[in-house]
Amino acid sequence: MSKNENTLKRHMGLKAANRISNFFVYLLLIIISVVWLIPFIFIVLQSFRVESTYQVGYVIPQQWGFDNYLKLWNSDFKVWYLNTFIIALASAVLITVIQLCMSYTLSRFRFKMRGPLMRFMLILGMFPGMLTMIILYRVLSDLGLTQANAVPGLILVGVASSGMGYYVSKGFFDTIPKSLDEAARVDGATRFQVLYKIILPLAKPIVIYTILTAFMGPWGDYVFARYVAFGTSSGYNVAVGMYSWLTNDQIARMYTTFCAGGVIVAIPVTILFLCLQKYYVEGVTGGAVKG
């Protein structure tokens, strides 16, 4: 190879190599996008299938129709949906308040028990949460908050322990300079006014993140909801209810209905999520890692 050719190649190389690697990256990204979206497209398509209520070996329905959605309307799905919505709404409000109290305090106040408290909660978090279900179920049932009254029971349990999930928002509060608090205190603000007038307006992204995650959580909550509402359909949330459709004796009749239900559940949550995506990403990248 002559020297001239060699330099030519070296000069050409960068651009060409870039173009080739970009091509492969696009190819991969397209494949990934397809793989990631396909199940959801399938769900939507199958929810409109009329000819069979069970799994089939093709995706595009031979007969289109709203039968499955009608079936949903005539089932307990409405109740489950309402239950879940109430739980999600109540959790979103209460969990946000509790987590913000907790994380703001641990980020800003230096009191004697702060270190031990945080270590204690770290250790508590190492116990599997499922362990406590047995007794919580009994306590709730003594309070009359199970089965048909599962909704307030689930809200109570979900909210009560939510203080332990303070990490993400504390990470965010830690990034707000402490001198702002101090300046406000010198300016004459009480601690409460500091929180209310200075910190909360600045913490908008993390407040929205907390509300969003607290709202989305109950939509997928299966295990404890099953435990608490066991056997009483009017206390189910969507996850428990729709899970029962996929058991061996129901699946042949309810499979496409499940798909329709999935669409109905996913649409509002997904829209909400996509609207607030910015804050979610900020919360995840800002706080979750430090956690």
Partner 1 sequence: MASVKLTDVKKIYDNKVVAVHDFNLEIKDKEFVVFVGPSGCGKSTTLRMIAGLEDISEGTVEIDGEVVNDLQPKDRGIAMVFQNYALYPHMSVYDNIAFSLRLQKMKEDVIYEKVTNAAQILGITEYLMRKPRALSGGQRQRVAIGRAMVRDSKVFLMDEPLSNLDAKLRNQMRAEIILLRQKLNTTFIYVTHDQTEAMTLGDRIVIMKDGYIKQVGTPAEVFEMPKNLFVAEFIGAPKMNIIKTNLLLEDGKYYVTPFGAKLPVEGEKGRMLSEKHAKPGEILLGVRPEHIHLAHPGETAIPCKLVVNEMMGSELHLHVDTNDGTRLIVRIPTLDLDNSERNALVSGHEMHISFEGKAMHFFDPTTEDNLLV
Partner 2 sequence: MKQYSDLEFLRLSKWHRFTYKIAAFFRGIPKAIASLFWTVVNLIKTGCKKVADEFMDIVTTFTKGDWKTKVSFVVMGFGNIARGQILRGLLFLAFEAVFIVYMFAGGGYWLSMLGTLGIQGPTQDYDPLLDAYTTHYHDNSFKILLYGVLTIFFIIAFIYTWRVNVKQNKLSEQIIRSGKKLKSGKDDLRSLVDDQFHKTLLALPLTGILIFTVMPIVFMILVAFTNYDGAHNGYSNNLFTWVGLDNFNTLLSWQGGNGGGQSYSATFGEILTWTLIWAFLATFTNYFLGMFVAMMINKKGIKLKKLWRTILVLTVAIPQFISLLYVSKMFARNGLINLALMDLGWISQPLPFWEDPTWARVSVIAINIWIGIPYLMLITTGILMNIPADLYESARIDGANGWQQYTKITLPYMLFITGPYLLTSFTGNMNNFNVIYLLTGGAPTNPAASGAAGSVGYTDLLITWLFKITTGAESQYYLASVVGIMVFVVVAVISLVVYNVLPSIKNEEDYQ
Site residues, partner 1 (CB under 8 A)? 177, 179-180, 182-190, 193, 197-198, 201-202
Question: At closest approach, how far in Å is the CB of 269 from partner 1?
Answer: 30
What type of residue sits at position 181?
D
Contact (CB, 8 A) for 244 and 250:
yes
Question: At closest approach, how far in Å is the CB of 122 from partner 1?
Answer: 19
183 binds, among partner 1, partner 2, none (CB under 5 to 8 A by kind): partner 1
Gap between the terminal Cα atoms of the chain: 57
Contact between 42 and partner 2 per CB under 8 A: yes
Neighbours of 57 (CB within 10 A): 4
Residue number with CB closer to partner 1 (188 or 231) = 188
Binding-site string for partner 2 from residue 61 to residue 90, where x marks contact by CB under 8 A and - marks none: ------------------------------
Question: At closest approach, how far in Å is the CB of 210 from partner 1?
Answer: 19
Contact between 175 and partner 2 per CB under 8 A: no
- The footprint of partner 2 on this chain (CB under 8 A) covers a number of residues equal to 88
SS3 47: helix
Of 79, 86, 164, 208, the one binding partner 2 by CB under 8 A: 164
Q: What angle do CA 39, 37, 272 make, to 5 degrees?
A: 105
**Which residues, numbered 115-134, are part of the site for partner 2 (CB under 8 A)?**
121, 123-124, 126-134
139 binds, among partner 1, partner 2, none (CB under 5 to 8 A by kind): partner 2
Residue number with CB closer to partner 2 (149 or 237) = 237
> Interacting stretch for partner 2, rule CB under 8 A, among 3-11, 66-74, 151-159, 200-208?
151-159
Q: How far is CA 155 from CA 80, 231, 290, in A?
A: 15, 19, 28
Question: At closest approach, how far in Å is the CB of 124 from partner 2?
Answer: 6
Contact between 14 and partner 2 per CB under 8 A: no
Structure tokens at 199: 């910190």
SS3 212: helix
Of 109, 182, 200, 253, the one binding partner 2 by CB under 8 A: 109
**Which residues, numbered 176-215, are part of the site for partner 2 (CB under 8 A)?**
190-192, 195
* Spatial separation of the C-alpha atoms in residues 70 and 234, rounded to whole Å: 19
* Spatial separation of the C-alpha atoms in residues 28 and 36, rounded to whole Å: 12
Structure tokens at 62: 């031979």
What type of residue sits at position 85?
F
Q: How far is CA 29 from CA 19, 25, 38, 159, in A?
A: 15, 6, 14, 40
Question: At closest approach, how far in Å is the CB of 283 from partner 1?
Answer: 19
Question: At closest approach, how far in Å is the CB of 73 from partner 2?
Answer: 19
Contact between 23 and partner 2 per CB under 8 A: no
Contact between 12 and partner 2 per CB under 8 A: no
Contact (CB, 8 A) for 242 and 220:
no
* Spatial separation of the C-alpha atoms in residues 218 and 174, rounded to whole Å: 28
